[in-house]
Amino acid sequence: MNASGLPFDDIRELVKNLPGVDENSLSLVKVRNDKIRAISGSFGQLEEVCEWLSAWSGHSPAISRPLVALFAGSHPEAVQCSSQSVADEVSYISAGGAAINSICAANDLGLKIFDLALQIPVGDITKDAALEERDCAATIAFGMEAIAGGADLLCLGAVEINNSISAGCVIAALQGGSPQDSIFIEPQETTDIEPSKLARIESALAVHDNHGDDPLEVLRLFGGREMAALCGAILAARVQHIPVILDGYTALVSASILKALSNDAIDHCVIGQLSGGTAMETLAKKLGLPVLSSLEIIAGNGCGAAIAAGIVKSAALIHTGIKIPR
């Protein structure tokens, strides 16, 4: 990004100039879908998947370089977990022993996991801002560079340990309503954590009640580095014409920040699958994005998106592989 007076100005300018749908590619896929339907019957939602792929990639449905990118950050206001828990999970995935590793192997997906200064938690949002503007903008830029190696389908998620208070604050600040509605219960927690989480969310919102209507300021005050990096990766994918599959509550929260900046900023995204109860279901409905499956996986770490990527790859192969009589 080019330097300007304020770090967030470049991001706002980028969001204003995001590329749109490739109407020609979309039209060609719709025509072919009609022909396939005539000889083979309907493939249901897989037809829509192919239309989405072509609309945002600018070419016929084909996946050759799918990538799962996961971001990990640490927060000081965790109720049960520490930054060491996040580091342990990053090491576990890096060593190849996690569920996401097996799913990526099964679907021939690349996998990258990014440690975002886990030894330095963001600020305690019940007292201070999570990040300074320059640091927040730099982390968004890092997320944009994280996919620089190339991909034609991007699955995005986070290591969802100890960041649900931060995520809840972002949603409550962006969308209003009761903080109770924005609480996400992490897989390793029990429901008796809710009162403590709710108290921390209410405390943080009271401290930072001057964010106005600026989504990037909401991110800076309440978010984590993983959310900032996810925002950057989503934007970079749009610029590079890469369709995106989102996984987990943190990814949906990050997408909400961009949608608040511009209503069409996340139109190139779909949701891999829903998990995490009412808060995630409510947020998904507000985002208005298609959901590819209903497996109710709560493992996180990109698992839902990686499984959905297998569905997307199958849809593309069906679409391009069926022979249509002349």
pLDDT at 46 over 70: yes
Please tell me the predicted confidence (pLDDT) of residue 231.
98
pTM of the model: 0.92
pLDDT at 194 over 80: no
In contact, 87 and 118? CB cutoff 8 Å: yes
pLDDT at 128 over 90: yes
Element (H, E) at 28: helix 23-40
Q: State the amino acid at position 315 in one-letter form.
A: A
β-sheet bridge partners, residue 133: none
Sheet of 66-72: strands edge to edge? Answer: 110-115, 66-72, 153-158, 244-246, 269-273, 291-293
pLDDT at 81 over 80: no
Confidence at 189, pLDDT banded by 50, 70, 90: low
Mean pLDDT computed over 69-96: 81
pLDDT at 1 over 50: no
β-sheet bridge partners, residue 293: 273
Least confident of 45-54, 176-185, 231-240, 290-299: 176-185
Nearest to residue 186, comparing CAs of 81, 309, 311?
A: 81
How many Å separate Cα 83 from the centre of its chain? 21
DSSP state of 179: G
Q: Which two tokens stand for residue 182?
A: 């924005």
How many Å separate Cα 211 from the centre of its chain? 23
- C-alpha dist (Å) from residue 323 to 26, 35, 52, 211: 20, 10, 21, 56
Confidence at 64, pLDDT banded by 50, 70, 90: very high
Per-residue pLDDT reduced to its tens digit, 138-147: 999 999 998 8
pLDDT at 47 over 80: yes
- In angstroms, rounded to a whole number, what is the distance separating the alpha carbons of residues 74 and 91? 14
Please tell me the predicted confidence (pLDDT) of residue 325.
85
Mean pLDDT computed over 45-53: 96
CB-CB neighbours of 1 under 10 Å: 16
pLDDT at 187 over 70: no
- In angstroms, rounded to a whole number, what is the distance separating the alpha carbons of residues 309 and 314? 9
Confidence at 85, pLDDT banded by 50, 70, 90: confident
Backbone angles phi, psi at 190, to 5 degrees: -115, 160
- In angstroms, rounded to a whole number, what is the distance separating the alpha carbons of residues 305 and 157? 8
Please tell me the predicted confidence (pLDDT) of residue 146.
85
- In angstroms, rounded to a whole number, what is the distance separating the alpha carbons of residues 257 and 286? 12
Q: What is the largest CA-CA distance in the chain?
A: 69
- In angstroms, rounded to a whole number, what is the distance separating the alpha carbons of residues 252 and 232? 13
Per-residue pLDDT reduced to its tens digit, 259-314: 999 999 999 999 999 875 677 888 999 999 999 988 877 777 899 999 999 999 99
Buried b (16+ CB within 10 A) or exposed e, 104-137: beebebbbebbbbebeebbbebbeebbbeeebbb
- In angstroms, rounded to a whole number, what is the distance separating the alpha carbons of residues 272 and 174? 23
Q: State the amino acid at position 102 in one-letter form.
A: S
Please tell me the predicted confidence (pLDDT) of residue 79.
46
Mean pLDDT computed over 313-324: 94
Mean pLDDT computed over 142-157: 92
The whole-chain average pLDDT of the chain stands at 89
Domains of the chain: 64-316 (3.40.50.10210)
- In angstroms, rounded to a whole number, what is the distance separating the alpha carbons of residues 65 and 108? 9
Mean pLDDT computed over 21-41: 94
- In angstroms, rounded to a whole number, what is the distance separating the alpha carbons of residues 167 and 181? 12
Please tell me the predicted confidence (pLDDT) of residue 6.
72
Mean pLDDT computed over 203-223: 90
